Structure 1
């Protein structure tokens, strides 16, 4: 079936046939030990579209044991150049199955098909990138003098756990699993229970690409039933977690009991600073994308607009119109550019923030309400929302709403803009729009953030390290630094 026919069929039926409904363990599909099943919901319709295995601690233990056997056996014997070939082959298979993966991502997450296609392309690029790194993970030599040969070896850390969020299921799986495999580690993946499908599909593609049995396993189920026993398992050497700060603290505590290392990509309340000297059209385009892409369900979303007073009124007027021009609806409709909220529970959380803001008399020039798909009257949607002229200590400024809600802070000059940018407990990313490169460099120096964007929000790519400071996390993903997270260094010194 052509990609166009497949998309048309799924739009008509609401179902994509052939989706996996079991765990992927030891190179094969495996039902849950307890026989349980769960439903996966289509946020655009607010109804189930598939079922999948509800795992537990027994399934988790089986997967970890499989990963450990593979790491100590077949995978250990695979040369780095062969790891590179397998990852490159996986990138090709992702592209070959791109439309099916994208449609699945829409059905599971609620995002638009254009966003999902971008995610799939990014996942393929991720495997391309780390395929290139697999055979270049070099050690170093140390100058101890002519009587010694001293050098280091980068060894895989062992079995790695990957706890995947629901907002970018395929992208986040790829960006942590690919460098782990490049380093020679094995993996046990626990996708969010709201969005399990593409992690399962990716594991099968990796196996097809030549990954030995047990190198990449996926166990589906709830955080309590699967995530907790996985992060607490004594055979896990490294945990990569993306999600809320509160859950990240629990993950770190679990890792500490086994002296496992962690990469934590946690919450964000990122500032997008717009100075009076900026290119207004460029800034408007980027502010809209920074907060309303994926309906604002992005840890690094530009969820705070810090804007100079001189341009505030006119900028907000135009921004309100841009927000109202967004076309909301089910993600499989190619005319839509604003998708659904992932779950009823999350929609209620966003709504509660705006109900509270409204009760306190805050200015909401547009949005602020849950709504439905205009075409069908179904789904979990929230209007693109702007809350204007907020005090720095307001909950809408300080707390991660994780939805299409932009908090506006008005400042009088550059120095106040930097102070406003740093006013929360989070420090994931920060953006600035200005024609003054001196101010841009000063901002990059003075803002506390893991990455800084100048005149393009979400700039960068898989090559660029990503991660946060303070309550936004520990460690970095993407770039070559990610491979180092999955390695342990052994130094060898020989007296000649």
Structure 2
């Protein structure tokens, strides 16, 4: 365990401050650096390269050369071996990656360690998929042979968010590499470090130079030139709906394909026949893990009226028992908000709710680390019995704020679940399997979790409908996003 007051600074000094391009560290062409902040202390902890269009062009050129000259010619089996070695190296470097993630993002060390385990698993999973992505044969009759080939689409861009920097990067980079594509990664400017460390690990695993490049910087200076670059053939973006729309427009100029994993306002339905203790465990985790900064967070509790009062009383007790503090502090299980700007956004939603007379069952205030008086924190918050059209029900807050919708039946619960423009995830707690299957059918969501929120894994396709995005990540379907199908038909 790192002592925050004495060791974090020394750790940060060991972190990279350059781009990773063509298999090596490269200083930004502008010569400029930026600061990344430790949210748990609200202080800068490291500096990194401020990328520009010139750096992006260099990285894309490297990726294009590597894809053309080497990576697409590498056998799928060998690609799989390299990805498997990467999985093992991620595990060997787990503590360094986890600490870097805490200092950049503000989450707890336990959460960061879980993210690292999931990242290694992603490379392990797609290592196994690399030599199993097959074409098809088409029955044109006895005088023809017709078949399809799944070819790598080419250079891919990966725009990575700040809430899960390492795991989100890995879940798109790994299938792209398995398919034979090369990657240029632009991590969020708030959380650049683990993407840089990952790129170095991949080269150590045997990935050829230029196959995976990382350019850091702001969305305007580095992200926008990347998604609009004419040599980028696919863009994978995770972030806000507004930015995702702009990414899609930029990619369309080059007729590049996109995978967009965007906003969410996911319902967590608890019916009267549910296992209450199980539901409580999952409702708490669904909204308060990573301080609610999760696209698929269960940020709405849809609950039947007959159990509402009892459930909220127990939920409040659990929320108040969470221990706020710096992510590297022993015993802390509730981390920081990623930035001052985002903390202000979360606070503004709750202040608006207070002004409209919404009941605050618990929380509702900006906080600090009680051990230091520093950091960007917001109390675990429950807003009770909220009208369906209220902004805290309709809009993504992306923080530890749960909006409660009270309903009188399972049928009304489905209506409540579908009452927003988002359709990313949904949770459901009931002992009635038939009812669960019906609700899973009728709720509009990219994934439905029954009796365990966040159920599934890298094997399970993940993505949203409507304003929550298009395309799917994870699972074997993700590899398809990085392929183009070629049909060959021969008269014999």
TM, length-normalised to structure 2: 0.99
Instruction: Give the stretch that moved more between structures: 352-361 or 398-407.
Output: 352-361
1:277 aligned residue: 273
Q: Aligned pair 1:72/2:79, yes or no?
A: no
Unaligned runs of 5+ in 2: none
The 5-angstrom pairing of residues 175-254 of structure 1 reads 175-254=171-250
Which residue, 335, 342, 345 being the options, matches 1:339? 335
1:407 aligned residue: 403
Is this contact kept in 2: 1:15–1:50, CA < 8 A? no
The 5-angstrom pairing of residues 79-158 of structure 1 reads 79-158=75-154
Q: Give the whole-Å Cα distance in 2 for the aligned partners of 1:269 and 1:326.
A: 23
Q: Aligned pair 1:364/2:375, yes or no?
A: no
2:379 aligned residue: 383
Q: Give the whole-Å Cα distance in 1 for the aligned partners of 2:183 and 2:300.
A: 36
Q: Aligned pair 1:56/2:39, yes or no?
A: no
1:475 aligned residue: 471
Residue 11 (structure 1) shift: 5.8
Q: Give the whole-Å Cα distance in 1 for the aligned partners of 2:17 and 2:47.
A: 6
Secondary structure, counterpart of 1:295 in structure 2? helix
Residue 75 (structure 1) shift: 1.1
Q: Give the whole-Å Cα distance in 2 for the aligned partners of 1:367 and 1:183.
A: 47
For residues 431-451 of structure 1, the C-alpha deviation after alignment (integer angstroms, 9 at most, x for no partner) is: 100001111000110000000
Q: Per the alignment, do residues 366 and 202 of structure 1 end up closer, same or farther by CA in structure 2, a change over 3 Å counting?
A: same
* Corresponding residue pairs, total: 491
Q: Give the whole-Å Cα distance in 1 for the aligned partners of 2:80 and 2:431.
A: 42
Is this contact kept in 2: 1:11–1:332, CA < 8 A? no
Q: Give the whole-Å Cα distance in 2 for the aligned partners of 1:315 and 1:15.
A: 46
Residue 9 (structure 1) shift: 7.3
For residues 124-170 of structure 1, the C-alpha deviation after alignment (integer angstroms, 9 at most, x for no partner) is: 00000000000111111111111111100000000000000000000
Q: CA RMSD in A?
A: 0.9
TM, length-normalised to structure 1: 0.98
Unaligned runs of 5+ in 1: none
Q: Give the whole-Å Cα distance in 1 for the aligned partners of 2:457 and 2:275.
A: 23
Is this contact kept in 2: 1:114–1:334, CA < 8 A? no
Q: Give the whole-Å Cα distance in 2 for the aligned partners of 1:34 and 1:128.
A: 37
Q: Per the alignment, do residues 370 and 212 of structure 1 end up closer, same or farther by CA in structure 2, a change over 3 Å counting?
A: same
Q: Aligned pair 1:173/2:169, yes or no?
A: yes
Q: Per the alignment, do residues 108 and 99 of structure 1 end up closer, same or farther by CA in structure 2, a change over 3 Å counting?
A: same
Residue 13 (structure 1) shift: 4.2
For residues 352-395 of structure 1, the C-alpha deviation after alignment (integer angstroms, 9 at most, x for no partner) is: 11111111111001011111001110000000000000100000
For residues 278-334 of structure 1, the C-alpha deviation after alignment (integer angstroms, 9 at most, x for no partner) is: 000000000000000000000000000000000000100110000000011000013
Moved over 2 A (4+): 7-15
Residue 14 (structure 1) shift: 3.8
Q: Give the whole-Å Cα distance in 2 for the aligned partners of 1:147 and 1:372.
A: 75
1:306 aligned residue: 302
Is this contact kept in 1: 2:136–2:147, CA < 8 A? yes
Q: Give the whole-Å Cα distance in 1 for the aligned partners of 2:87 and 2:420.
A: 38
1:42 aligned residue: 38
Residue 8 (structure 1) shift: 3.9
Which residue, 387, 390, 404 being the options, matches 1:394? 390
For residues 94-114 of structure 1, the C-alpha deviation after alignment (integer angstroms, 9 at most, x for no partner) is: 000000000000000000000
Q: Give the whole-Å Cα distance in 1 for the aligned partners of 2:8 and 2:336.
A: 18
1:318 aligned residue: 314
For residues 27-69 of structure 1, the C-alpha deviation after alignment (integer angstroms, 9 at most, x for no partner) is: 0100000001000100000001100000000000000011000
Q: Give the whole-Å Cα distance in 2 for the aligned partners of 1:9 and 1:405.
A: 27
Is this contact kept in 2: 1:329–1:374, CA < 8 A? yes
Is this contact kept in 2: 1:95–1:124, CA < 8 A? yes
Secondary structure, counterpart of 1:174 in structure 2? helix
Q: Give the whole-Å Cα distance in 2 for the aligned partners of 1:178 and 1:75.
A: 14
For residues 412-443 of structure 1, the C-alpha deviation after alignment (integer angstroms, 9 at most, x for no partner) is: 00000000000000000001000011110001
Q: Give the whole-Å Cα distance in 2 for the aligned partners of 1:294 and 1:11.
A: 24
Is this contact kept in 2: 1:232–1:254, CA < 8 A? yes
